[in-house]
Structure 1
């Protein structure tokens, strides 16, 4: 197996909430640190990334569905599909919020962790386009059951993050009543 960084403690903390043999989407999966971890837990994983080399490495030693797609500029490759969980780390493209939320099946989980405002003091990303605004994940998940939410400075390496574990309601729209940022 290719050496990849350890999965985020946020993802490992909430992975036990996922149904045995459930279907998980790892969006912007990169080298597959979460895909590999979740698959080792018996979950069926679909990974999407625009980095062909990273996906080739993942395909070479990990079973799963690996989709090469530029989700910011191209066609959404998962139209009409939903998953027991959607995992997103270190990725933010606000125009995709509706698609990400719609990809979580009713009763499913969203596990999201990325950089937040204040991170510019510690390095990249530093552009506001790539940093969550205060409380943004809570607004995005309005109407969902928030299991946990954290924001603040982490060490080793120092970075400012925001993260949420939220369950989509069983019925109704995946989108919050309030407009997204």
Structure 2
């Protein structure tokens, strides 16, 4: 279920989690924003000099997102995964969960690429919507879905303002050649980028 109506996210600032870990994405990278809505994260990455692509089922939402990069209208819940066999230097997902697509989303992360994912988790039913278990990650579920990636940061818990329970991860796929040392992925944004 898509949880990002265009009117709700139009003009919204990017997620703090995405901003915090976006320094892991190498300059000029290809970024895929899954269930992009009106493109708040597409805008953030485009402003950082990245090539961005967004996918969403709402043509209305994509109308705004088109100003930030390439877009694709597709129902990724009822239709096929439109990026089969394609890889991106970063894959970004916020406020969206469709379990059947988790393997395709993770597979779209290129060798050396980054997955930045944040969505609602179990417990959210006590503070608001979404409240159905179908749309709430269970404890450790995002970690399990990201198996094979190197986890740089992970959180599972309660946030205020607005009150919500979330799981979020920043994870890196190892480089293609195992003889290469793992990339240096700083936990803090370099001072010149702040």
Instruction: Calculate the TM-score normalised by the size of structure 1.
Output: 0.89
Cα deviation, residue 3, structure 1 = 5.2
Q: Structure 2 matches for 1:25-64, cutoff 5 A?
A: 25-59=32-66, 62-64=67-69
| Runs (5+) with no aligned partner, structure 1 | 173-181
1:5 aligned residue: 12
Superimposed CA distance per residue, residues 67-126 of structure 1 (whole angstroms, 9 cap, x where no aligned partner): 000000012221221100000000000101111011000110000000000000111111
SS of alignment partner, residue 57 of structure 1: helix
RMSD: 1.5
1:90 aligned residue: 95
Q: Please tell me whether residue 146 in structure 1 is matched to residue 146 in structure 2.
A: no
1:118 aligned residue: 123
Q: Please tell me whether residue 137 in structure 1 is matched to residue 142 in structure 2.
A: yes
Instruction: Calculate the TM-score normalised by the size of structure 2.
Output: 0.84
Cα deviation, residue 64, structure 1 = 1.2
1:14 aligned residue: 21
Aligned length: 169
Q: Please tell me whether residue 71 in structure 1 is matched to residue 76 in structure 2.
A: yes
Instruction: List structure 1 runs of 4+ shifted beyond 4 angstroms.
Output: none
